[in-house]
């Protein structure tokens, strides 16, 4: 067992068996500049509280796993430089060597399971990168969903990925992919996409029941809830597709590869959409936080 | 724990510690028209009884996992329309939402393990699809074999798949692939193939011993027993290969993709072989049922 | 549970809670001719003793798992013909049928875990083969590292593999890849490579701490410690790269495929380097044995 540092709010929620929603922290350290990053993080936490659950933002700080960040921890993390982006492969090393790191989807799932939290809200999961048939670049998030029993609410996978291949890998790995309230698999900044979702559910209660059934069956993994961005906040896919394609072409032309690709593409899309991609990103994370709170409440038997 | 609905016969067999063989149900709902589908299912069940074991056909009916189907359940399933084809990704959701679904290889393995059944007979497993190097279309059956401790008796993988790549993935995932009584990896409708099997065994007892040793070692997965179709029932591979190739070319020409490919190919092969593919399919499933019964008996200490 | 045959030395070490280092045996049966193979094996075992730990060479002999080989076992194995090369897929079958086999990286990890040994020294792990984007040929060692909690000390992956893709797959599978004392991922016969290592550690103590933290977190897999070959023993990568490329071109020209590729390439590289590849191989295995002993000591609380 490792030591967990709980925030006072999460500690109290655990003691009282209240519903809790895990949150990742790379959105704070790698997603936006200070102080916008901590303002958005505080807003998302408040959305969860307003929806009847307790937020637990995860991070590793000086070698200690934090489950729930106090305001001063959040502020320090939001201003820190060179913070590691932790995934399954490097989380234990960071803990062992006293490092500080923000948690990706995979690491947040590990932390959530370790702390007994079953629902997690994020923006979009990682997946199969464009060109993975020759680069083999596939996010660890997919295998994490296959093995760690946490329900992850996201607006799909980040739309700069190869979404069709991402769905194939999730099927191969046996991960339930459940679109919320629609038949299509949403495409992050857009609610619509040409891809059919493997499963559809229309209530937090059904999602909670499916989660509990998986646990009862002894299946080890989680569920991906693909929650479409609200229509009023989306960038329509016919507008977005050429922007993504042109950003990808730029990345290829400048020979950007490996870990450099994602930040490069996101920055280009931010510029090309005159900042609307970031506005949409904030809207979808908040939307996911509210649904995740509903699922956590349903799992605790606190349905509406 | 979820509730299991056992048939009377399987319940009695479990109480008496008799050998049991699991059977899948997609062959009933998606493999043949009514009433041939339930006649063949009943025949395969009888083959298992004649070989000294008890059949347990798996299905999810109205949200309940059935282990062993009574005659009226079988008949109803055989006539039902729009039944889901369940795999690891959607089995829990079907149970949770009160749905009805037939079990693929992956879902049958999960159900078998859950019910304490260690041997399962089917036709052919899923695997790596033709063109998977760009489509990433790989069946969940392969990862299921890597993690669920059930010995699966099949006539190899369905011959419309890329068999060489299927063997590579099974090796990567650490799945024992054991040809029964020959050195080659059989090719579903044909006993012969140009592919060497990684392992060969010549008796049900050896297969049972290997299964038990895997369990004793604590290894989590199952074994694939590649049981060649009886010579008198096969479609020789030099006759079959051009038929499969032409069916695949047709599918490409008509831009059939995704989940539509397998049913399309099987239908074309059925037409081109004037129905012999279905006759061969029935012969090989019955052959697999008999071997599976022998393995289940050997595992129960009831060897000949 | 299966029976383990312990050597007297390993048995005593277990009873006294002394640090133990696992060793594989394919280097004996498939790596060098007799008697050089057993001389080198004895030397590597002695290196481990000189570094304060006890060596446990793994093999399956006549259906029994040996953990630690007595001198006569080692000699018999070193002279045996047609010994199987065991991986996860065939280890249980070999045990069940009374066979004899040498353990690859994957099988050695399984044996080590089964015997309660947490550290293992080898030459280089298997990985993604050149051309795997169309052949799908990927070693089972990678998935073994993802699931079996053993720290493996190697000079990286064998340099005839596609090292960039091997790193991608390890990241996807969540395996920590820790370069020892440098920032680059070493390339087996060369300490240098153009690839950055995902993690770097500079002491056996840190590696042991990360191992223990992984265990405490409940993560199932191991760690790959990429330990560069000592500078004085390496074949510089600019000298080696064209030799590997020409060997690969020869293999392609002679249409060598599948399991034949690796031995063919190693033999060509041996010839082209006038035997220096083998000398380097021995130096790097000894170097890995010493570091592994240090890690095992640190894990036992016996740090310097
Ligand atoms: Mn990546
Ligand atoms: Mn598929
Ligand atoms: Mn291979």
DSSP state letter for A25: S
Q: How many structural domains is chain A composed of?
A: 2
- What one-character DSSP code corresponds to residue A182? S
Residue B80 contacts C where some CB pair is shorter than 8 Å = no
Model pLDDT for residues C38-77, shown as the tens digit of each residue: 999 999 999 999 999 999 999 999 999 999 999 999 999 9
Q: What is the helix (H) or strand (E) element at residue C62, kind and residue range?
A: none
CA dist., res. A224 & res. A143, Å (int): 12
Catalytic residue among B9, B14, B24, B144: B24
Active-site option among A118, A144, A158, A184: A158
Q: Is C202 on the interface with A (CB under 8 A)?
A: no
Chain B residues with beta carbon closer than 8 angstroms to that of A171:
87, 89, 140
Out of A57, A84, A117, pick the residue that ends a domain: A117
Partner residue facing C89 (CB), from B165, B176, B206: B176
- The rounded distance, in Å, linking the Cα atoms of A263 and C219 is 29
Ligand number nearest to the C-alpha of B87:
2
Between CA A113 and CA A120, with CA A118 as vertex, the angle to 5 degrees is: 95
Q: Which of A24, A118, A144, A184 is catalytic?
A: A24
Domain with residue B3: its CATH number is 3.40.1790.10
Q: Name chain A contacts of C171, Cβ cutoff 8 Å.
A: 87, 89, 140
pLDDT in tens, C271-290: 999 999 999 999 999 999 99
Instruction: Answer yes or no: do B219 and C110 touch at CB < 8 A.
Output: yes
Which among C142, C147, C163, C171 is the top mutation candidate for probing chain A, defined by the most A β-carbons within 10 Å of its own β-carbon?
C171
Are the Cβ atoms of A146 and B142 closer than 8 angstroms?
no
For residues A122 and A210, membership in a common domain is answered with yes
Q: Which domain holds residue A202?
A: 118-304
Residues A112, A128: one domain?
Answer: no
Helix/strand/coil for A180: strand
Residues B13 and B113 in one domain: yes
Residue C184 a catalytic site member: no
- Which of A127, A171, A198 has the highest number of chain B CBs within 10 A, making it the mutation to test binding with B? A171
| Beta bridge pairs of residue B65 | B4, B60
The verdict on C98 touching B (C-beta cutoff 8 Å) is no
Rounded Cα gap, residues A170 and B140, in angstroms: 9
The answer, for C43 touching chain A at a CB cutoff of 8 Å, is no
Q: Which one of A172, A195, A201, A219 makes the best mutation probe of the B interface by having the most chain B beta carbons within 10 Å?
A: A172
Q: Is C140 annotated as a binding residue?
A: yes
3-state secondary structure chain B: CCCEEECHHHHHHHHCCCCEEEECCHHHHHHCCCCHHHHHHHHHHHHHHHCCCEEEEEEEECCEEEECCCHHHHHHHHHCCCCEEECCCCHHHHHHCCCCEEECHHHHHHHHHHCCCCEEECCCECCEECCHHHHCCECCHHHHHHHCCCEEEECCECCCECHHHHHHHHHHCCCCEEEECCCECCECCECCCCCECCEEECCHHHHHHHHHHHHHHCCCCCEEEECCCCHHHCCCHHHHHHHHHHHHHHHHHCCCCHHHHHHHHHHHHHHHCCCHHHHHHHHHHHHHHHHHHHHHHHHCCCCC
User: Across the interface, which of B89, B97, B137 has its CB nearest the CB of A174?
Assistant: B89
Residues paired with residue A154 on neighbouring β-strands, in sequence order: A226
Check pLDDT > 80 for residue C303.
no
Q: What is the pLDDT of residues C247-272, one digit of tens each?
A: 999 999 999 988 788 889 999 999 99
Structure confidence at residue A259 as a pLDDT band (50, 70, 90)? confident
Q: Could you say which DSSP state residue A230 is in?
A: P
**Residue A241: alpha-carbon gap to chain centroid:** 22
Q: Are residues A285 and A195 in the same domain?
A: yes
Instruction: For residues B89 and B147, state if they share a domain.
Output: no
Residues C126 and C242 in one domain: yes
Residue from A168, A178, A142 nearest B139 by CA: A168
**Cα–chain center distance at C223:** 12
Residue among A2, A89, A143 with most chain C CBs within 10 A, to mutate: A89
CA dihedral B87, B93, B97, B102 (to 10 degrees): 0
Report percent pLDDT > 90 for chain B.
Answer: 93
Q: Which structure tokens are listed for C219?
A: 């993560």
Q: State whether B143 and A173 contact (CB < 8 Å).
A: yes
Residues C58, C159: one domain? no
Sequence-ordered list of residues with C-beta below 8 angstroms from that of B207, at least 6 positions apart, any chain: B151, B178, B180, B201, B223, B225, B295, B298
pLDDT score recorded for residue B85: 95
Cα–Cα distance measured from residue C151 to residue C121, given in angstroms and rounded to the nearest whole number: 9
Who's near B287: CB < 8 A, 6+ residues apart?
B155, B227, B229, B230, B233
ipTM of the complex: 0.97
User: Which of B128, B165, B214 shows the shortest C-beta gap to C92?
Assistant: B214
Q: How many residues does chain A have?
A: 304
A9 is catalytic: no
Establish if B282 touches chain C: CB-CB under 8 angstroms.
no
The reply to whether residue C217 touches residue A97, judged by beta carbons under 8 angstroms, is: no
Q: What is the pLDDT of residues A146-179, one digit of tens each?
A: 999 999 999 999 999 999 999 999 999 999 999 9
Q: How far apart are CA C123 and CA C24, in angstroms?
A: 9
Instruction: Determine the distance separating the centroid of ligand 3 and the alpha carbon of C132, expressed in angstroms.
Output: 9
Q: How far is residue A294's CA from residue A207's CA, in Å, rounded to a whole number?
A: 10
* Contact across the interface for A140 and C172, Cβ inside 8 Å: yes
* Rounded distance from Cα A127 to ligand 1 centre (Å): 9
Q: Which ligand lies nearest to the CA atom of residue C172 in the structure?
A: 1
Summarize the confidence of residues C193-218 as an average pLDDT: 97
CA of residue A144 to ligand 3 center, whole Å: 25
Give residue B82's pLDDT.
Answer: 86
Q: Which of C258, C266, C31, C283 is nearest to C160 (CA)?
A: C266
pLDDT digits (tens, 9 = 90+) for A16-31: 999 999 999 999 999 8
Chains near A with 3+ CB pairs less than 8 A apart are: B, C
A80-123 pLDDT per residue, tens: 998 999 999 999 999 999 999 999 999 999 999 999 999 999 99
Same domain, B154 and B29: no
| pLDDT value for B259 | 79
Q: Are C166 and C231 contained in the same domain?
A: yes
Answer yes or no: do A82 and A129 share one domain: no
Which tens digits make up the pLDDT trace of C121-149? 999 999 999 999 999 999 999 999 999 99
Same domain, A108 and A131: no
Smallest CA–CA distance, residue B97 to chain A, in Å, is 7
Mean pLDDT, consecutive 10-residue stretches, chain B (304 aa), reads 96 97 96 94 98 98 98 96 95 97 98 98 97 97 98 96 98 98 97 96 98 96 98 93 94 88 92 96 98 98 70
Q: How far is the CA of C258 from the centre of ligand 3 (A)?
A: 7
Domain end position, chosen among B68, B84, B117: B117
Interface of A with C in 122-161 (CB under 8 A): 133-140, 142-144
Query: What are the structure tokens assigned to A28, written together?
Result: 């704070």
Which residues of B fall within a CB distance of 8 Å from A174? 87-89, 106, 140, 143-144
Residue from A36, A14, A11 nearest A281 by CA: A36
pLDDT at A304 over 60: no
Same domain, B102 and B215: no
- Residue where a domain stops, chosen among A117, A133, A149: A117
Tokens at C54, concatenated:
């006890």
Average pLDDT score, chain A: 96
Give chain C positions within 8 Å (CB) of B209.
Answer: 96-97
Does residue C115 sit at the B interface (CB-CB below 8 Å)?
no
Residue A258 confidence (pLDDT):
80
Our CA-based measurement puts residue A141 at a distance from the nearest CA of chain C, in whole angstroms, of 8
Q: What values do phi and psi take at C236, rounded to 5? A: -55, 145
Q: Is residue A257 predicted with pLDDT exceeding 90? A: no
């Amino acid at each position: 067992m490792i030591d967990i540092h709980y925030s006072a709010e999460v500690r109290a929620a655990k003691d009282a068996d209240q519903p809790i929603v895990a949150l990742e922290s790379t959105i704070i350290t790698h997603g936006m500049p200070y102080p916008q990053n901590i303002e958005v993080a505080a807003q998302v936490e408040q959305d969860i509280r307003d929806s009847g659950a307790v937020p637990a933002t995860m991070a590793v700080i000086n070698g200690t796993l934090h489950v729930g960040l106090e305001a001063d921890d959040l502020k320090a993390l939001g201003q820190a430089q060179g913070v590691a982006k932790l995934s399954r492969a490097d989380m234990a090393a960071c803990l062992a060597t006293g490092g500080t790191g923000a948690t990706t989807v995979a690491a947040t799932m590990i932390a959530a399971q370790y702390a007994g939290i079953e629902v997690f809200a994020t923006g979009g999961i990682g997946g199969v990168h464009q060109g993975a048939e020759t680069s083999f670049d596939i996010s660890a998030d997919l295998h994490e969903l296959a093995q760690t029993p946490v329900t992850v609410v996201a607006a799909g996978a980040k739309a700069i990925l190869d979404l069709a291949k991402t769905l194939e890998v999730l099927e191969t790995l046996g991960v339930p992919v459940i679109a919320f309230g629609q038949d299509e698999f949403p495409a992050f900044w857009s609610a619509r996409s040409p891809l059919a979702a493997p499963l559809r559910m229309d209530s937090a209660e059904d999602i909670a029941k499916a989660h509990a059934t998986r646990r009862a069956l002894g299946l080890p993994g989680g569920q991906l809830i693909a929650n479409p961005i609200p229509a009023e906040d989306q960038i329509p896919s016919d507008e977005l597709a050429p922007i993504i394609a042109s950003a990808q072409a730029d990345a290829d032309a400048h020979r950007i590869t490996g870990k450099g690709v994602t930040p490069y593409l996101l920055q280009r899309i931010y510029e090309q959409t005159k900042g609307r991609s970031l506005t949409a990103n904030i809207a979808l994370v908040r939307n996911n936080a509210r649904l995740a709170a509903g699922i956590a409440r349903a799992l605790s038997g606190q349905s509406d």
